[in-house]
Structure 1
Amino acid sequence: MNMHKVAAALLLSASICLPSWASDDAEANSALIQKAFDDWRAGQGGIFQLLADDAVWVVAGNSPVSGTYRTREAFMEDAVKPITDKLATPIVPTVRQIVAQGPHVVAFWDGQATAKDGSRYENSYSWHMQLENGRITQVTAFLDTWRLVELMN
């Protein structure tokens, strides 16, 4: 068998073995997350509206809000609210990159806001999300927790 036929057979067999979600779900999930960030940036909703009621959100690191939240309500009340209570303006996101593979989407973004004391709050985030049926079910959020601690104090 010549090398071209062997290569073609290998490529065909590899593409048959790809999971069904490998391209379609990834593209749809990436677009959904991008739109949520765009809406958030425009002040017309945002990413938290995509959270499932039973979403598990992990804030990595050491900060006053680091930990695991097992419901959307707990996350919004115990993590988001204490942060927004320190801010005079909403956090405005700027997406650097979104990478998706099936139900998994990673958003790398920067956020800027003004704190109630007049200082600038700036942070960079990497949110590793899992989606099911257009809803975010799991997140692990990485950020500069030192900067967050400064804001919270």
Structure 2
Amino acid sequence: MTRWVNFAWRVQALALSLIFFTNNVWASENTQHANATLVRQAFTHWQQGKGTVFDLLAPNAKWTVAGTSPVSGVYNSKAELAQVVRPITARLATPIVPTVQSIVAQNDVVVVLWNGTATALDHKPYNNTYLWHMTFKNGQIIEVTAFLDTYVLNDLMRRVKPPQ
């Protein structure tokens, strides 16, 4: 009888483990799908002039701009990041329009590869390629590492003087 009780406990433990594992996988897949959908919608709204991906940022989001551009560095809030973006947009005659190449999601991370196009104040095109690695928590972006062609950004910053 002890052997059967032992066997029954093992089967029950195995069944509970499978249920727990399956629920965690489903929750993870659901979260990554929801986060990818938020990013896709934000880029669509940005293309339509109805907002940007920055609308998804938590107030205290950490944003790292990789590379050696004038804006490369670590910014510890949405407000700090806005101060850095302002000198870039001040040099543009038109807003940056994004075109998404791909979106990949895994757990709480969404990675998006995208191209941005705009016209600078000197009427020359500004075309850059970006890769953003974004970490989500509760539907908001809490951390980003942004990669871009820093040569293109440096050229814009040196070439175009913002209006006074």
Task: Please report the TM-score for the alignment, with normalisation by the length of structure 2.
Answer: 0.81
Task: Number of aligned residue pairs: give it.
Answer: 141
Structure (1/2) with the larger helix percentage: 2
What does residue 110 of structure 1 align with? 115
74, 78, 89: which one aligns with 1:84: 89
Letter in 1 for 2:109: H
SS in 2 for 1:123: strand
Task: Measure how far apart 1:22 and its partner are.
Answer: 2.5
In 2, the alpha carbon distance for the partners of 1:71 and 1:111 equals 23
Equivalent position SS for 2:112: strand
Specify which of 37, 59, 75 is matched with residue 31 of structure 1: 37
Of 39, 52, 69, the match for 1:63: 69
Q: Distance in 2 between matches of 1:53 and 1:22?
A: 24
Letter aligned with residue 74 of structure 1: E
Q: Give runs of aligned pairs for residues 124-139 of structure 1, distance below 5 A.
A: 124-139=129-144
Quote the sequence identity (%): 48
1:45 aligns with 2:56: no
Q: Deviations over 1:48-68 (max 9, x none)?
A: 111111000000000000000
Deviation at 1:46, TM superposition (A): 1.2
Q: Which runs of 4+ in 1 moved over 3 A?
A: 17-21
Note the C-alpha offset of 1:82: 1.0
RMSD of aligned residue pairs (Cα, Å) = 1.8
Shift of 1:35: 0.1
Corresponding residue of 1:98: 103
> Aligned partners of 2:29 and 2:53: how far apart in 1?
22
Aligned residue type for 2:129: S
Q: Distance in 2 between matches of 1:46 and 1:53?
A: 15
> Matched residues in 2 for 1:63 and 1:81: separation?
15
Deviation at 1:17, TM superposition (A): 7.0
